[in-house]
């Protein structure tokens, strides 16, 4: 079924999969606004993502994330953080609001991209998180293997497949 104008397109996948980059390209291609969940969370908390994790803990971060998901406007392209689609309440809402696209990146490519993991408090547990999250990411409507593809090419593939 073609994408409805009120349906959101949410981009999920592991840290370093290129969600934030591809969401921006997709927003340009579709002419739709892009909502970055992490930016919304940081703005609401008045501090950075690492500061939220360090000072308030992951459960507090996930609660802010659920709130940010509930505030996404119809029709937006949504740049999710890597764990957002793995929270049951956020996932149910995202699936009800529109389409979800899983960007599937190899561990080696993600490691090249995120380096030491600065700004990503959970980067050190990347492999263990992938093992836990993969069955959850598989609930997405569409999966794109991103290794070797430029962001614009990924965005075009998403639009063709939606």
Ligand X SMILES: Nc1ncnc2c1ncn2[C@@H]1O[C@H](COP(=O)(O)OP(=O)(O)O)[C@@H](O)[C@H]1O
Q: Does 48 bind ligand X (CB under 6 A)?
A: no
- Residue from 149, 156, 157, 162 binding ligand X (CB under 6 A): 149
Query: What number of residues does the chain have?
Result: 162
CA distance 80 to 34: 10
- Residue from 18, 83, 87, 154 binding ligand S3P (CB under 6 A): 83
| 143 labelled binding-site residue | no
Q: Does 17 bind ligand X (CB under 6 A)?
A: yes
Q: What is the DSSP string of 30-87?
A: HT--EEEHHHHHHHHHTS-HHHHHHHH-HHHHHHHHHHHHHTPPTT-EEE--TTGGGS
Q: Does 38 bind ligand S3P (CB under 6 A)?
A: yes
**Site map (CB under 6 A) of ligand S3P, residues 108-127, x = contact:** ------------xxx-----
């Amino acid at each position: 079924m073609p994408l409805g104008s009120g349906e959101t397109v949410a981009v999920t996948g592991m840290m370093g999969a290129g969600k934030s980059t591809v969401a921006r390209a997709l927003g340009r291609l579709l002419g739709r606004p892009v909502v970055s969940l992490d930016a919304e969370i940081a703005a609401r908390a008045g501090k950075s993502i690492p500061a939220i994790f360090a000072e308030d803990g992951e459960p507090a971060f996930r609660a802010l994330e659920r709130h940010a998901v509930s505030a996404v406007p119809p029709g937006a392209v949504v740049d999710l953080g890597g764990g957002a689609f793995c929270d049951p309440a956020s996932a149910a809402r995202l699936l009800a609001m529109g389409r979800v696209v899983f960007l599937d990146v190899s561990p080696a490519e993600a490691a090249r991209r995120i380096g030491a993991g600065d700004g990503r408090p959970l980067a050190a547990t990347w492999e263990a998180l992938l093992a836990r999250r993969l069955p959850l990411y598989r609930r997405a409507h569409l999966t794109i293997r991103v290794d070797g593809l430029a962001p614009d090419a990924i965005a075009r593939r998403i639009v063709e497949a939606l």
